[in-house]
Structure 1
Amino acid sequence: MKVSAIGEFALIERIRNILPKPHDALFGIGDDCAALRPTPGRDLLLTTDLLVDGIDFTRQTTTPFRLGRKAMGVNLSDIAAMGGLPRAALVTLAIPAEEEIEFVDELYRGLQEEGARFAVEVIGGDLSASTALMISVTLVGEVETGRAVTRSGARPGERIWTTGRLGAAAAGLTALRAGCRLRDDQVGIPFEVSDSLRETFRQTIERHLCPIPRIMEGRALAQAGAASAMIDLSDGLASDLAHLCRESGVSATIREDQVPIDHAASAVAQRFGHEPLALALQGGEDFELLFTSSWDPADIAAILPDTITITAIGKIEEAGSGCRLERLDGSAVALTGGYDHFRGTERPAISTQPSATNVIRRATSY
């Protein structure tokens, strides 16, 4: 059945029935506004992210359920980067009238399931007819007063850290562009690969389609006061480190041999002739946390969950030299690249390695 067959208000009621009754909201779906009661001693955090069909995703390469999970997950990652605790979400959906109702059902189930992992409830939003599918999530979070970690607190001499390993999401995008598809938990690959490599492809595609927000890690760093500045890696390490340095008024150098490249990303990159380091630096959508700290490594490790790896990848320096990558031979090159919505393509990350100049796009057509 098409959305046009039941109309706007029946669709709202259908969505309302899909979502559990909110426990945290004073008012939810059904009134002109949703309402939350602020928690004493905490500041509100507000973030929003827009996903557009053909730019940030394509329906040929994802499912509505996974799209819902990702739309919620990228906003959760923003709250994590501030050290916050997410609370409630508003969802705005622009959708063609001839879209199947089941698509909307599965989209909201994905939104609800990803939110429920972090006790987030969808408490309202808006619907509109559109020639293109667009989904925007506005997420409300909280952080202890004065404890929000911004991008502007980095100081010379501090170490630069990242959680997890990088490049898997970009590797998954590369696999999708090559015709691979993930349906349920089975990956379809239009060429011969070994069983082990098939699982590697599945892992990277899953990371691209359903990122893992680092809420617990961000909370731990903020509450302990361990991070002086923090940002989530959405546009790529090269680009996001530049954002942090610009806001803090500093420079940075990271070491090539310290960049934690995901093992699955390396395998997929090599299968397609890409440079794994380029995926880690430029690829984006890893949604790991990049942060700076003056703390000793052992003290940082002690406050984070045992399940997460952290890596010191470089140091913050005085302003003036920009962001640089120190190569294995001791030379240094400018660290550039990363996703830009209005440029469309990235600049080369490493001018001295031709294979690193492969263009890696965040989404668009495959």
Structure 2
Amino acid sequence: MNDYIPVSEIGERSLIKRLSGIFNVGCNPDILIGSGTDDCAVINISEDEYMVVTTDMLHRKTDFPVLMTPWQIGWMSAAVNFSDVASMGARPIGFLSAMGFSKDTDITFVEGISRGMDDCAKFCGTSVIGGDIDTHDELTITGTALGRVQKSELLTRKGANVGDKICVTGFAGSAGAALHAIANNIEIPDILLNKLLEPVPRVAEAQKLARSGAVTCMMDTSDGLAISLHDLADLNDVGFRLEEDSLPIQAEISEFITSNPDILTEFALYTGGDFELLFTVSPNMLEIVQSACYLNVIGDVVGQEVGTSITCRNGQNLTINRKGYLQLGV
């Protein structure tokens, strides 16, 4: 008899790894990347293109703050999936959603969610193309996004080299700071609040980066910057050295965090929900990607033996811990 192991103890990433070992993708030569190893599965569909596919499940209690409007719930449900498509350098081509509502849910609430999904799909250049509806004790939304990418432009989590620059689009820690403000009844401007409630999938930036030919690996930061760095480090057998002064922290965060400046770095490293792109670039190609989209260079790829760390403003080097936003109660 197997020992009892609750899923809350094993953790999301470990469970995904265990389950991925069960699924046999080797029998289908058209599957380039299967479950568990990247942001999307990658399927061979033609001589020149791959299709990428991803799915994500969201719940009322854990993923949608109480103050979210139905439209924002719908937008986020689509955005989290389109962010995964973007991380592969792909162009979104469709979105499907399975939605579970309690029997007494107001129809206008459901319509609001659907409009949010539709607007996010339009923003990403595609449409909602189908799905399913059922009754459920808790609002639960599962989204599935599809994308296409030229084979020569596919970006994955693997490919970082020692000496590469590590870059991120947008800001780090904004969504986490907004969630902190909500939990502590701190008034913040909409420009910061919307980083949490209306995340913008970086589909346009991702396609420009893919076409540049300068990016060596890429993923999104939905679970947080620190844990994403560790994911890339493990897969590429490298380490990362970040510079604290280079962390792109939104100015509005500093305006309500005045008592403890160190917490700004904590937000940037260890909170999730930003849905930015984290990627590595060959140093001699940096100017090319800087002309392709807005980005921040936050550090360098170093040897695996160096580990993943951050150089603080006072000159001290600190280890970046393997933690971030995870499901399954961890």
Question: What band does the TM-score fall into relative to the shorter chain?
Answer: 0.7 to 0.9
Residue pair 1:172, 1:201 contacting (<8 A) in 2 also: no
State the superposition RMSD in angstroms. Answer: 1.8
AA paired with 1:235?
D
Choose which of 290, 293, 315 in structure 2 pairs with 1:330.
315
Gaps of 5+ in 2: 1-44
Specify the SS of the correspondent of 2:175.
helix
Choose which of 270, 280, 294 in structure 1 pairs with 2:268.
280
Q: Which string of whole-angstrom CA distances, capped at 9 and with x for unpartnered residues, describes residues 26-62 of structure 1?
A: xxxxxxxxxxxx676210000111111111124x221
C-alpha change, 1:69 and 1:205, in structure 2 (3 Å) is same
> Mean Cα displacement is larger for which, 326-335 or 230-239?
326-335
Q: Report the alpha carbon displacement of residue 238 of structure 1 after superposing the two structures with TM.
A: 0.7
Tell me, in whole angstroms, the C-alpha distance in 2 between the residues paired with 1:240 and 1:67: 24
Q: Report the alpha carbon displacement of residue 331 of structure 1 after superposing the two structures with TM.
A: 2.2
- How do residues 1-366 of structure 1 correspond to structure 2 at under 5 angstroms? 41-58=48-65, 60-179=66-185, 189=187, 200-270=188-258, 275-294=263-282, 295-304=284-293, 308=294, 310-336=295-321, 337-344=323-330
Tell me, in whole angstroms, the C-alpha distance in 1 between the residues paired with 2:46 and 2:130: 20
Residue pair 1:257, 1:328 contacting (<8 A) in 2 also: yes
Q: Report the alpha carbon displacement of residue 78 of structure 1 after superposing the two structures with TM.
A: 0.8
Residue pair 1:94, 1:127 contacting (<8 A) in 2 also: yes
Tell me, in whole angstroms, the C-alpha distance in 1 between the residues paired with 2:328 and 2:318: 25
C-alpha change, 1:162 and 1:240, in structure 2 (3 Å) is same
Gaps of 5+ in 1: 1-37, 181-188, 190-199, 345-366
TM-score, normalisation: structure 1? 0.74
Specify the SS of the correspondent of 1:102.
helix
Tell me, in whole angstroms, the C-alpha distance in 1 between the residues paired with 2:197 and 2:47: 36
C-alpha change, 1:283 and 1:222, in structure 2 (3 Å) is same
Residue pair 1:161, 1:290 contacting (<8 A) in 2 also: yes
Q: Report the alpha carbon displacement of residue 275 of structure 1 after superposing the two structures with TM.
A: 1.3
Alignment match, 2:19: none
Q: Which string of whole-angstrom CA distances, capped at 9 and with x for unpartnered residues, describes residues 202-222 of structure 1?
A: 211111000011111111111
Specify the SS of the correspondent of 1:213.
coil
Count of matched residue positions in the alignment of Structure 1 and Structure 2: 284
Residue pair 1:79, 1:85 contacting (<8 A) in 2 also: yes
Q: Which string of whole-angstrom CA distances, capped at 9 and with x for unpartnered residues, describes residues 77-105 of structure 1?
A: 11111111001011000111111111100
AA paired with 1:324?
S
Tell me, in whole angstroms, the C-alpha distance in 2 between the residues paired with 1:78 and 1:229: 14
Q: Report the alpha carbon displacement of residue 320 of structure 1 after superposing the two structures with TM.
A: 2.5
Alignment match, 1:16: none
Q: Which string of whole-angstrom CA distances, capped at 9 and with x for unpartnered residues, describes residues 234-261 of structure 1?
A: 1111111111111112111111111111
Q: Report the alpha carbon displacement of residue 120 of structure 1 after superposing the two structures with TM.
A: 1.6
Tell me, in whole angstroms, the C-alpha distance in 2 between the residues paired with 1:69 and 1:110: 4
Q: Which string of whole-angstrom CA distances, capped at 9 and with x for unpartnered residues, describes residues 331-359 of structure 1?
A: 21110131121343xxxxxxxxxxxxxxx
Between the aligned residues of both structures, percent identity stands at: 31
C-alpha change, 1:78 and 1:42, in structure 2 (3 Å) is same
Residue pair 2:212, 2:289 contacting (<8 A) in 1 also: no
Specify the SS of the correspondent of 1:330.
coil
Tell me, in whole angstroms, the C-alpha distance in 1 between the residues paired with 2:101 and 2:307: 43
TM-score, normalisation: structure 2? 0.81
AA paired with 2:324?
G
Tell me, in whole angstroms, the C-alpha distance in 2 between the residues paired with 1:269 and 1:82: 35
